[in-house]
A and B are shown apart, each in its own frame.
Chain A
Amino acid sequence: MKKLSAKAKKRIMANVTGYALILPLLIGLLVFTLYPLLVSLFNSFFYNYDGFSPYEEFEFGFGNYLRAFTGYESEVFWKSIGITFSYAGIMVPLGLVLSFIVALFLNQGLKGIGVFRLLYYIPCLIPSIVQSMIYLYIFNPNYGVMNDIFAGLGFEKSQFFDSPNYNAVLTFMFMNLFGVGGSMLIWLAGLKSVPKTYYEAAKIEGGGYFYSLVRITIPLCSPYIFYLLITNVIATLQICGNAYMISSSGGVDNNLLFFGLYIYRTFMNNNFGYSSALAYLLFIVIAALSALLFRFNKYVYYEGDN
């Protein structure tokens, strides 16, 4: 009897301590995540809800969701979707491949390699507001350095971010290539994790550089590929702040209206209902894509699994 009560006491103590320690996290989850999620969902069903007037003044139903797919707003919606997904579809693979190539060059054990690693990472250290200042200046259509370089190379002047076509997104893409240093660091860790003996074995068997790359390096780095893929896809689809700093309105003809910025712009116009619906649509897409990507997890080689 006494033994049992001691055990029960221990249980209670563990619960008290545990909840005391996670209390801040729990409050944060409830107040800043769960409650907002529910409110957002609720708001998304009130057509053009403005955030502050009583709910009775707004029509209840799927109006906000339908609004995205029908009527005059759907044009902007699809354009924004097109920009965001074509950008992600090109930039995520391109960024992964380029950062991988750079990491391969850095992984050769040459002298002074630490300095190069640092240099390549510098653009990632620049705060995004400063990055925007630099890139808006470099790509300024009138007095930017890039047009000077273009003139030197004999190319036509470009409007860059102000272009009336896809050149605006291409400029945004080019700008973000300066930031592949972040993925590069993760690749480097992946490359370092491959045991050297594997390469030696491949060499003895007569396999060349590309044989080792395809048969050893890439499969053994698959957890890193997977991690980079998931995080980059999620981050790219949510682009908002960086696009806002380049053009808060979404560019000429909405050419830089990334989906995150579209949501934010709608919210700034006090349309809480429609922006909540858009945010939920984005969430569904991200969750679906993540679930899809996680299905590939079984092809990922984790050390110690075998």
Chain B
Amino acid sequence: MVNLSSRNKRVIKKCVSYFFLVLFSAFFLFPLVVMVLRSFFTTEESIAIGAGLIPDTWNWDSYAQALDSEFLKYLGNTVIVLAANIIGQPLTAAMAAYAFTKVKFNGRKIVFTAAMCTIMLPSILTMIPVYKIFVDLGWTNSLLPITVPAFFGGGFLNIFLMMQFIRGLPKEMDEAAVIDGAKTIHLMFYITYPLIFPVIALVAIQSFFFAWNDFMGPLMYITDEDLFTLPVGIYNKFFTALTPLESMPNVQMATGVLILIPPMIVFMLFQKQLVEGVTLTGLKA
């Protein structure tokens, strides 16, 4: 009898938990559901009051309108920026992480501390003179200001994350290789980097998300419409519309769905690494 009641209690507790979990889901999925469903509206329906969520007829025109030549142009620019970031960030971060952990050079503590301090700096503080540097170099209105810096820095948190992993590697392998006559460059590329490859991949994936989302950088440096990346291009296309009919909410939502697809795929593919990586960054001091 006692047994049964405690079992009942457990079942009730489970039901309550699932009830809340579903309730939370409804909340968190709300923006996505609105976006997806309303992307199938016609423009007139999408600016009607009390239009509801389910479209009367499933209208695919908004996707045809969203995927126009401008979108593809912006996508092309974004891909260039992505490539630079996905290569540049992990590369510079991995080099610096190796130097900080394995090479005993003079002044490494100072450089490390300086790099650490950068995470506290408001980005806007450095942005203004950096903007001037790019103006002086004649780089504004090119993709250079948002691609070249990816090769100079790597991001402190990325470096720190890699360092944590390199520190955890057994020293014996390095020692054995040195006896066999291996140089530092061999140790790096044949021993350390293969062993920390999951972390390098994680940094690359995070760079993908950063570059795919970055808005302020391109907004600041690029005024030539032909060079816009997706976020700025989309902003320019929709956010400056004057009338509701011009702003075409249904096409906006369709564009949103299209832009969301790549990050969703990347997240699905690398979910495990990303979730673990998020939790490791900066917590293992």
Contacts and interface: CB of A to CB of B under 8 A. Distances in A.
B126 A37 contact: yes
A178 B103 contact: no
Q: Is the interface of B mostly helix, strand, loop or mixed?
A: helix
Contacts of B24: 102, 105, 116, 120
Contact of A25 (B29, B111, B124): B111
Contacts of B35: 130, 133-134
B1 interface: no
A123 B28 contact: yes
B130 A240 contact: no
B93 to A, nearest CB: 8
A241 B239 CA distance: 14
Interface stretch (B55-63, B148-156, B167-175, B198-206): B148-156
A288 to B, nearest CB: 11
A90 interface: no
A286 B256 contact: no
Chain B interface residue bracket vs A: 35 or more
Interface in B202-254: 212-213, 215-216, 219, 230-231, 234-235, 238-239, 244, 249, 252-253
A241 B282 CA distance: 24
B133 A133 contact: no
A130 B96 contact: no
A60 interface: no
Interface in A203-248: 223-224, 227, 231, 234, 237-238, 240-241, 244-245, 248
Interface in A156-201: 178, 181-182, 185-186, 188-189
Given A130-B259, A231-B282, A241-B215, 18 more contacts: A14-B103, A14-B104, A21-B95, A24-B92, A24-B95, A24-B154, A36-B127, A105-B21, A110-B18, A120-B28, A122-B28, A143-B249, A178-B31, A185-B279, A238-B124, A267-B128, A282-B122, A302-B285
